Structure 1
Amino acid sequence: MDQARLALIRSGTQEERRGVGSGYLIAPQLVLTARHVLQDHATEAFLPVITVRVGHPKFGITAPVPAQLLWTHPDGLDVALLRIDCEVDLPGSVNWGRPVGRAPLPYEGIGYPWASLGEGREPEHLRGVLPVLSGGMDRYVLDQEPAPAPRAGDRKAWGGTSGAGVFCSGHLVGVVTQEPRTYGARRLIALPVSSFACDSDFVSHMEEHAGGPPGLHDIGAALPEARPAAERTQAERELEQLLGPLFPHPGARYDYARLLARELGYEATGFEPTGADLVALLLRHRRALASLGEALVGSAQGVVREGLTCLFSRARALGCASLLSQNEYDTLLGLLRRVCAAQPALLSQAAGEALRYIVLPDVLSRPLLEEDDLCEVVEGLEDLSDSEVVPAGTPAVPALLKLVEYVAGAAGGELARDLHTWSEGTAGRLGVRPEALEERRADAVRWAKRPLSPVLRVVMELERDGTAEEERYWCRILLVRGNGSHRVLAEKETASRTRRELAMSLREAVVVAKQEPGQSDQVPWVTLVVDREGLHLAFDEWVLPESGGILPEWPMGAHYRVSLSCPEISDQVPEREDDQARRWKNGRATVLVADRTSGDVQQFVKVLRTQHRDLARVILHGPADERRSRLLCCLALGVPVVLWDRDAEGYEDAARLDGLAPAGDLGGLPDRVRAFRGGSAESRPTERRARPALVWEPEHHAPRTGSLRLRDPWRGTHAS
């Protein structure tokens, strides 16, 4: 890769710039780039004005020069050739390559991503690994080492990198074309040069401008070799020492090294590494050391067995190796896919119970997991122990193994047996004592057999994000059971959410609640915990997206019984919760309708403190300003149920609530409100109907969990 051949491409019209991309000079007047860099995103028409600046800012660049579109692929592949209006004559020529084999290849490139935007576009040195077996037809996967934070919305952190050349062993092998959103800016996609290098028109342009067609050379991963002794790190030297006792003679080391190299995808004929070379191979692939140990452990005895345990423990402490071998990793993913297919809520539920004192990966805060989430779950837990006691001098039980035991305890049947077999085999390789694993298994069995009270309600705690320009909220979700216990579904917040995201999170929480033991098939009750200002927001009217777009979107309050709760008032009125308990006990049958006869706020409060001291329900009518002041008085005095029409303009609108029988049976009021909201959703746009809002403070309050704006702990640290 020659940094002097880097190209910055700008496209647009005479009036405005529309796009920015990267490219690579492959001949004095030819620049290779991605096709979409040159297109209007809305119409896909090619933009008429293109300029190219060749060179790296640190080593000299040309001035921007006009360029014309010379070639695109006839089958629409995302690649294009530009002809620039001046010659940039550089020494040497471009070598073209095609990755082969199975072993991942180190790659590099240079591009101009949005993430490096300062006063102007600055280049970024792309580097990482190209896993040859990942991807598909006309598609290379690039696992990027330095990865920027993902951008909000649909904007991409790597935007502007498209068109950059991808190099392996000094050979141009691809062109960057995409940034898949699912990998959080850690992965790029490239188009292989082999997919277009034989196109007849492309070859003609190369012959005209470069003197000949691109000749593709097969590029395979070379077996790693140790650096000179003086350049090796302390970790490399320590691992070489720990490997020594495992191989009593060089022949044994050669045999196992060749076996491992072939498993990793290398051509290993004649591979006879020194101890330092074997360390270099182990450090190149994060699962290699565990895979070597898996091969050794079956025949390991005495000193070798102790040496293996010491090696695993020290390598993990040094951050030089993953917990699982490739075989163990693949087998576990297969087992967890079966778990997700049968019980998508089980993994998160088991993690919350098994690993209470560990800061879990963010993915485990989701109530429902899918197959695509499993890699993140496994890799996020591999570096953590379960923080509990083990026999002196023996390895800690990995958090991942404890989670597997809890999942097995709840799954039962053949799946549980398969999970236990996997756990025992992995624990044996790591040197974890059988009694330590058995202790976790016994805990898991007790947890799986525990009697559970049904979930009474889903509680969503909301706090407005005052720092965001758009309407966004921090959120925590709990399932509250009839016995007073609760389960936190989503606790750690790394970012506030939009209305739509909150509605989707609520839908997932309701699905989880229905899967809890002892649940009946009833319309869920959702309590939205808000502050004083939140009492006047129409949360129940937030649209609940229908998956797949098959059914029409519908408001949350028409799907579920949605009511509001404002526990913050209890912080200012300490006796409020005692007043609520008294009113729930004595005043269920009593209703106060606040209308014109109720007088001013002072008279209204007097009535609530005297003749209606035990009343549990108030219906508010009148203009908005009167309703607001009376609502706060009701809540401060412990009235647990308050109903009003948030769209009422005055007392004359009182009859609009009659359709839900506001003074009828108290227990059925939430269902009547839900049904009324459903009818409102079907009403004609010109029809002015009531928009009921309901505060319902539960008799048994949800746990008070503090501020929702939590700082992100370092990933992988322990909470205790």
Structure 2
Amino acid sequence: MPQAARAPRSATRNPGPGTRSDVDPRRLALIRCGIDQRRHSVGSGYLIAPRLVLTARHVLLQADTGKLWPKIQVRLGHPRDGLTAYVGAELLWEHPEGLDVALLRIDHETDVSGPVRWGRPAGKVPLQYDGLGFPKAAAVDTRQVEHLRGVLSPLSGSGDRYVLDQGPAPAPGSGDSMAWGGASGTAVFCDDHLVGVVIREPQTYAARRLFAVPVHTFVEDAGFVAHVEKHGGGSPGVTVLDAAALPKAGPAAGRTPTERELEKLLTPLFADPALRIPHARDLARGLGYDIGGYEPTLADLSALLAAHPRALASLGGALAATGAGEANRASLTALFFQAQILECGSLLSLAEHEELFDLLHGLCKEHSTLLPRAAREALRYTVLPESLTRPRLTEDLLDNAIVELEALFDSESVPQGTPPVPALLRLVEYVAAASGPETAVKLRSWTSATATRLGIHPDALDERRRDAAHWAKRESAPVARIVMKLELDDSAGDEQYRCQFLLARTDGSHSVLHETGSPAKTPQEAAHSLREAVAATREEPGQGDHVPWVTVVVERRSLHLAVDEWTPACLDEFMPAQPIGADYRVTLSCPEMSGLRAERDTDQTRRWKLGQTSALVTDSTSVTFQQLRYLLENEHRDVAQVVLNGPADQRESWLALCLALGVPVILFDRDADGYVDSPRLRSLAPGGELDGLPERVREYRSRSLAYPGEHQARPALVWEPGGQHQRPGPLRLRDPRKGTYAS
């Protein structure tokens, strides 16, 4: 996503949006709490004096009891500079009125470069903020640093809470998992001043917003002041940061390369003060500034544009609307797209963004699957933003999706010498083609006007519009199967899995719902994601009431998983959640076995073709591994189904043998101890009609919930789909800029 370039450091205490931060990576603190060597809680902090770390109080407390963890450890510094050892710490101060903030005293003194400067944002113009923390979403093998940055609006929130609208943001967590978990305690900086401490992630904003406790609510507390002064942190005093003053260009030698380049690009358009000053005043007024006496130079205008992401597009749009832009079309086009390369401005103006958001907001509310479905088709060769890789795009994720799409371009050709088509415009054309007539007209009017301002060739936009119309006329085949690939994340410590979903359709086509950017999921979170995917397919055209079959692709070591018993979080108080195996036909698949035995796929194809009407049910006459192998290679060479009864300690090796020899359907009871338990599967008619077996198993699981005393078995069904069934690819992270997989 393009980020606003930052204006030069102000000589006054009126910073303006986009000013630099004084966050020092050497002062960054990773806090972990627990009992002895076992970690239970992770948080962030900031060294404000040689032995004092500022953090959020709740990081130090046990969630269930509210008591302080007996062991607190702190590691200082940024990992890029080499890992330092953890040192012990103790709670030194907490707010007397219960604010979520605390001071830790660490065991060893650390050199720091001077006292922290404390600030209080004022006025009404939003300020850029940043900070360094350790959120869960940034974890790989260990906790990694995330550079938090975005906008702090003094008018949002309340006197004891700041609202931080985060720029780069992870996908929201699900269930009890919070994407920003671990970022609590992060120090928030605006214009070289520490202004707040991150304390919470509100779930209603889909990981795009954080709350922080303002510095001014605690920094003048007598106990806080005494501890800071005693430990060499100076005398804390709060400076008011008023962003009402317009950004001004500093000395030429101190200007950023971005500002200098912007000034060159602006010269052909705004060299004349008679044109520049009225447009600049209108722009500044629209951004919320007091424009009294404002007569900017080109350098001042560059500083203003660098401070606000949508200022440049807004200025160009205003110039084009007056007709003056037509005479300067080449300069305008160069300005817009060079700014994209410089990452100093967003694609859309304030008015364009607001209009598009209003148009799409209603669609997200009524048809939450439309934008992701259109994106998968319109931008099939583009690495989609995380918010569009899910089955649904809800209203709270819409703005995030728009912002991320502004940085992307489609991969199709354009007339020579004209700019590439933004991916956002192409997607809007596809959404328009699938919408009602009234909405379609408004969306196409928006793309036409925006394309004209950007200098997009009309033929390029018309080509995308024709492609969209062709796509909308095609009837999408129903989803026949949802494939959920699970890989155990060994680095997560607990039972967590990386997930990926694929929608396989009745016509043989497929589409992938990428989950690669998401952190590893607990079984409950994976079940929640599956439920979302199934619910979204029901809203697709032509799907009707058809409930897709769920194939869970697992590694060989995970064939024992009772995935069908995983339960998502409750939807509401009236309908308690139940295991996914009771709602859907859930079967296991292990394609990994094909890589271990070359003949496996050939054997599997033969068994599907010749053996669907027969089954091998193991009993006491087939009691050894070697005997089972003999039966499958001779008398039951073509059988497609095996019911594994027998000793529990032999089941794993027998199951692997059946899979290696190409048996596509294997049924067994997870709780069976031996042959004496084999009657528990008889109600499933395992030797009966094969195609109906998955539904019979689902009904059994469902009835077991309703009548737990009647049923004792825990059936597991392995079902390897016949033919060339598509499977999700490797779970690898992707580089959005290159559009390719990057390990």
- Which bin holds the TM-score, normalised by the shorter protein? 0.7 to 0.9
Q: Which moved more, 1:574-583 or 1:564-573?
A: 574-583
CA distance in structure 2 between the partners assigned to 1:240 and 1:478 by the alignment = 48
* Pairing 1:716–2:740 present: no
CA distance in structure 2 between the partners assigned to 1:463 and 1:65 by the alignment = 37
CA distance in structure 2 between the partners assigned to 1:148 and 1:416 by the alignment = 31
Distance change in 2, residues 1:112/1:670 (3 Å)? closer
Number of equivalences: 675
Code of the aligned partner of 1:715: P
CA distance in structure 2 between the partners assigned to 1:593 and 1:679 by the alignment = 24
Tell whether the 8 Å contact from 2:500 to 2:728 is kept in structure 1 after alignment.
no
Distance change in 2, residues 1:113/1:673 (3 Å)? closer
Tell whether the 8 Å contact from 2:479 to 2:548 is kept in structure 1 after alignment.
no
Per-residue CA deviation, residues 637-680 of structure 1 (Å, 9 max, x unaligned), is 33322212122111111111112222222222111111111222
Tell whether the 8 Å contact from 1:33 to 1:175 is kept in structure 2 after alignment.
no
Identical counterparts, % of pairs:
52
> Which residue of structure 1 aligns with residue 211 of structure 2?
189
Distance change in 2, residues 1:319/1:460 (3 Å)? same
Per-residue CA deviation, residues 146-186 of structure 1 (Å, 9 max, x unaligned), is 9999999668444345xx7977797x9x6536242668998
Matches within 5 A, 1:175-324: 175-176=196-197, 178-180=199-201, 189-191=211-213, 219-247=242-270, 249-298=272-321, 299-324=323-348
CA distance in structure 2 between the partners assigned to 1:604 and 1:633 by the alignment = 8
Q: Which moved more, 1:691-700 or 1:424-433?
A: 691-700
> Which residue of structure 2 aligns with residue 426 of structure 1?
450
> Which residue of structure 1 aligns with residue 619 of structure 2?
595
Tell whether the 8 Å contact from 2:150 to 2:164 is kept in structure 1 after alignment.
yes
Distance change in 2, residues 1:604/1:297 (3 Å)? same
> Which residue of structure 2 aligns with residue 690 of structure 1?
713
Tell whether the 8 Å contact from 1:112 to 1:160 is kept in structure 2 after alignment.
no
CA distance in structure 1 between the partners assigned to 2:172 and 2:117 by the alignment = 33
> Which residue of structure 1 aligns with residue 558 of structure 2?
534
Superposed displacement of residue 191, structure 1 = 4.6
Higher relative contact order (CA 8 A, sep 6+): 2
Give 2:580's match in structure 1, choosing from 548, 553, 556: 556
Could you tell me the TM-score, scaled by structure 1's length? 0.79
> Which residue of structure 2 aligns with residue 584 of structure 1?
608
CA distance in structure 2 between the partners assigned to 1:149 and 1:520 by the alignment = 29
CA distance in structure 2 between the partners assigned to 1:570 and 1:399 by the alignment = 39
SS state of the match for residue 596, structure 1?
coil
Tell whether the 8 Å contact from 2:496 to 2:520 is kept in structure 1 after alignment.
yes
Distance change in 2, residues 1:458/1:593 (3 Å)? same
SS state of the match for residue 668, structure 2?
strand
Per-residue CA deviation, residues 491-524 of structure 1 (Å, 9 max, x unaligned), is 5355332211111111111112222332231443
CA distance in structure 1 between the partners assigned to 2:44 and 2:553 by the alignment = 45
Tell whether the 8 Å contact from 1:361 to 1:380 is kept in structure 2 after alignment.
yes
* Pairing 1:673–2:694 present: no
Distance change in 2, residues 1:588/1:79 (3 Å)? closer
Distance change in 2, residues 1:111/1:703 (3 Å)? closer
SS state of the match for residue 480, structure 1?
strand
Note the residue ranges of structure 2 that are not aligned, 5 or more in a row: 1-12, 14-21, 71-87, 105-114, 138-145, 227-236
* Pairing 1:651–2:708 present: no
Note the residue ranges of structure 1 that are not aligned, 5 or more in a row: 26-30, 49-63, 83-92, 116-123, 206-213
SS state of the match for residue 461, structure 1?
strand
Tell whether the 8 Å contact from 1:367 to 1:490 is kept in structure 2 after alignment.
no
Superposed displacement of residue 480, structure 1 = 0.9
Q: Which moved more, 1:180-189 or 1:652-661?
A: 180-189
Distance change in 2, residues 1:594/1:177 (3 Å)? closer
Superposed displacement of residue 144, structure 1 = 7.4
> Which residue of structure 1 aligns with residue 5 of structure 2?
none
Code of the aligned partner of 2:184: G
Superposed displacement of residue 337, structure 1 = 1.7
Matches within 5 A, 1:602-621: 602-621=626-645
Tell whether the 8 Å contact from 1:39 to 1:47 is kept in structure 2 after alignment.
yes
Code of the aligned partner of 1:561: R
* Pairing 1:384–2:405 present: no
Superposed displacement of residue 681, structure 1 = 2.7
Give 1:368's match in structure 2, choosing from 392, 411, 418: 392
Superposed displacement of residue 94, structure 1 = 13
CA distance in structure 2 between the partners assigned to 1:627 and 1:111 by the alignment = 47
Superposed displacement of residue 327, structure 1 = 1.6
Distance change in 2, residues 1:418/1:198 (3 Å)? farther
CA distance in structure 2 between the partners assigned to 1:544 and 1:352 by the alignment = 26
> Which residue of structure 1 aligns with residue 83 of structure 2?
none
Tell whether the 8 Å contact from 1:106 to 1:127 is kept in structure 2 after alignment.
yes
> Which residue of structure 2 aligns with residue 325 of structure 1?
349
